[in-house]
Amino acid sequence: MKLRKVTAASAVVLALALSATACSSNDKKDEGSSGGGGKVKVGIKFDQPGLALKQPDGSFSGFDVDVATYVAKELGYKPAQIEWVETKSAERENALARGDVKFIVATYSINDERKQKVDFAGPYLLAHQDLLVKADSKISKGTDLNGKKLCSVAGSTSAQNVQKSIAPDAALKENAGYSECIAALQSGAVDAVTTDDSILAGFASQDNYKGQFKLAGLKLSNENYGIGVKKGDTATVDKINSALEKMVSDGSWDAAVKKNFGPADYKNEPAPKIGDIVK
């Protein structure tokens, strides 16, 4: 009788141990980095219309969101398994180094300095510094800005580049964000706004601005947007590059460009060669 009691107690302990092990396994699965029942954390901007914008209902829209969703799908994750993480420009490298996100799709221009800290897949879009002007504006070249009011975000190099080498007599107005610049352009307080053409096209594509603005098409710089990955994670870089190649070949890339930038008459460059310039 005594033996039976010990055996029964042991069985209960064993069952509890197996249950705990199963829970632990499921917890790890939820934090996994490859499909199944887990989640994947993806870094994006939350405040860039046409690229990555958090909607009032909590959903997200934009070209970067579409690219990230497609890539996540090819890595084995459904849209519901994506956890969007806001990654502001100054925090992108830190977020990857800490493992806060698996990858970042956030108008992340590839350059030599950043390549020392993170690895890049892509590029997935070639953007250019440009000007956004009113639809009836006569500004068609950089020198037309002399004597005009030019708006950009405080601390941005875009407007400084224009003022220094293209239109030294342009009057620079700096605001906290591009939304304020676009509003100033709409009211006539400034004559042009400058930053990447993709960002300008995204703002101009908003319903309350459609048809009011146009891009000058000046191509003042080349900005190759890449997908940031933690330094040394070459396996993920290779998988993302394969996903981007598929996105381009099956037409999804073109469809995403037209959907998110089309209303601003954005004359996008063809899809860049995946893997180019990132080494």
DSSP string, 235-262: HHHHHHHHHHHHHHHTTHHHHHHHHHHG
User: Which pLDDT value is given to residue 250?
Assistant: 98
* Closest to 197 measured CA to CA, from 220, 179, 180: 220
At 36-71, the pLDDT tens digits run: 669 999 999 998 999 999 999 999 999 999 999 999
Strand pairing category for 40-44 and 82-86: parallel
pLDDT at 187 over 50: yes
User: Residues with Cβ < 8 Å from 193, sequence gap 6 or more?
Assistant: 131, 132, 133, 150, 151, 152, 178, 181, 182, 184, 185, 200
Q: Pick the more confident residue, 266 or 245.
A: 245
Please name the residue that has the structure tokens 């990654």.
Answer: 87
At 234-246, the pLDDT tens digits run: 999 999 999 999 9
Per the omega criterion (within 30 degrees of 0), is the bond before 49 cis? Answer: no
For residues 216 and 163, give the distance between their C-alpha atoms in angstroms, rounded to a whole number: 16
User: Residues with Cβ < 8 Å from 187, sequence gap 6 or more?
Assistant: none
